[in-house]
């Protein structure tokens, strides 16, 4: 992971990449910014010059930690989430720093040039904090890809390979197979993206759209 500290021209691209990764993992800003976080503006530069940088950090850390281990988050953050007062805010940062320190000790997954410091977590702003958050997001995405999402991804990749093989067949052969019941009928293409996301996020099994 290339460090962007001291490289101003890399900031916009890395920030865009960070938010795209969050959205791909299922982060929903409108759902996250409710209750104690109503009115929170999650913008790409929120950790640079946004006035809600602390609240934004809490929302994003909550999302990433729950993707990594929802049970642990419930156990350790039960009395400080959602954050509603200064004491809860301090406790939330303390638990977050402890968890981040654990990741830092695992040098196989955390870059040596991305420091984890309590001051970064307390301030919740600046490039150093952003790098720490970006690294956590990458770690979370890899955890999902190699863990909870792996069976669904393998299944989806297998269906895609079968679909490509069928599309390569002559039209007459495809028509004969479908007439004999060897190929599934067409599922409406509307909502294909939503269905794929449901599969990746543990939704009820359903058929992914396939052309005839």
| Residue extents of the structural domains in the chain | 8-146, 150-200
pLDDT tier at 148, thresholds 50, 70, 90? low
pLDDT tier at 12, thresholds 50, 70, 90? confident
The predicted-structure confidence for 133-146, as pLDDT tens digits, reads as follows 999 999 999 889 88
- Is residue 208 within 8 A of residue 187, CB to CB? The reply is yes
Q: What CA–CA distance (Å, rounded) separates 155 from 198?
A: 13
Q: What CA–CA distance (Å, rounded) separates 13 from 1?
A: 13
The predicted-structure confidence for 86-100, as pLDDT tens digits, reads as follows 999 999 999 999 999
- pTM above threshold 0.75: no
Q: What integer is the mean pLDDT of 159-174?
A: 63
Range from 30-44, 61-75, 94-108 that averages highest in pLDDT:
61-75
């Amino acid at each position: 992971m290339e460090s962007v500290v001291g490289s101003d021209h890399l900031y916009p691209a890395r920030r865009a990449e960070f938010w795209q990764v969050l959205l791909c993992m299922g982060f929903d800003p409108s759902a996250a910014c409710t209750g104690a976080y109503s009115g929170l503006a999650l913008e790409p530069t929120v950790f640079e010059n946004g006035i809600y940088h602390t609240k934004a950090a809490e929302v994003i850390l909550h999302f990433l930690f729950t993707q990594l281990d929802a049970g642990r988050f419930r156990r350790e953050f039960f009395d400080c989430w959602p954050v509603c007062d200064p004491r809860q805010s301090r406790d939330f940062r303390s638990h977050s720093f402890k968890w981040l320190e654990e990741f830092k000790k695992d040098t196989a997954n955390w870059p040596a040039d991305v420091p984890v410091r309590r001051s970064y977590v307390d301030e919740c702003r600046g490039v150093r904090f952003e790098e720490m958050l970006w690294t956590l997001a990458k770690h979370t995405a890899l955890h999902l890809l190699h863990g909870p999402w792996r069976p669904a991804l393998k299944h989806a990749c297998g269906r895609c390979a079968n679909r490509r093989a069928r599309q390569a067949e002559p039209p007459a052969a495809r028509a004969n197979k479908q007439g004999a019941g060897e190929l599934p009928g067409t599922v409406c293409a509307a909502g294909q993206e939503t269905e794929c996301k449901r599969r990746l996020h543990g939704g009820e099994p359903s058929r992914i759209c396939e052309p005839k």
